[in-house]
Chains A and B, each alone.
Chain A
């Protein structure tokens, strides 16, 4: 693309996955760097990277329903939990108190998404019966009721304080959960997770990107901006709200199943309001209605505990125990979620994505101010 890459003259380019060949090249380089990192990162960072990649899948899901379709969903934790448990029940072994069917990953992974999507389909009718604010409460209620079900349905979840093991990490005969050779390269368990997460994110991210730049994405955006106007222009509200919810919960289901596969163990009280808020924070901090923003936000939030941990080394008011210092590290993290949500909403509603655009534009125009 020579000449003026910023000038967009036709609709096809406006809607393209990559606005120019340059950006496609940058993207390719980014992927190469990420793969190179996977081979060289220490185990703990590789695991964080893997978690960030899969959390991005979940955040993209939430962004579809909240960012594009404009329906506040506080219920993402419920769908994540549903995915995690579907994976564990379908893929796990039956033994002791919990049931399991021992399916292959290639079966249980999509199935986990589908179970969550089915739940989304059940919730969706409420979404077109109720509007905006009331919907937020319904999804909030979903988290609490889901939390109750997860605690009490003991043959599925093991019950509170007991938990169950998650689905085994094995695909096409490759043991992801153990160190070993893959295609002739020795990889640690965390590195395998990292590559798996990265591939999953690539596939799911591209799928989502293609969905939001199609007819569906435009319809969802129209519903968000003005639902009545959208309906008058011939967008069937009910159908597209259902699509948004189903796709979003499918993504959440997949993300939940894989995230807890990494952890290896599911404790039923994890799927609470705070988890939902974490995902809301990812979407808001990253950037509403952008795929790359979701990924940035998810990565940032996933690495936040690590950053706080590192900062506690030289910030004396953060401590590890409840009795020393002013705040404990988990408390600081929680407060940072809250504070970041507030700051980004007030100062930069476009999130990290908006910050990135600003920085890019600054350097594009440098040394001029505009």
Chain B
């Protein structure tokens, strides 16, 4: 009721709006051609972002759960020490990537958890990178500029974090 009432009086704006909308949820085909040319992007974008977030969440939580399971096997959960173990204080950008190997070589609860946290942190950054690739392929310049800028600011943050 609310939407029928709301759409009528603002026809020029609403027209463009529903055209934009129809491609997203697949109905309202009356605006067909405009809809297709104007807005085919969002559903496909979802197909890019969705898997990144889903697999990022699954991989990171699996690693963390394995770490917690190892803690239980060690019989250490009963005497859970919030401050036990090394933190994730590894040189992220400054050193060669062999710290990941070192992390894997010493399979203990803490290193598994740290690896899981690292995947967790990397997931939103991978998500931004995947949208940059998406808009590059789509040759959608405004959104390519927008997502690329965000990625560059994130990288700048990393460099400042690593040096300062």
Q: Do A and B bind each other?
A: no
Binding site for A on B (CB under 8 A): none
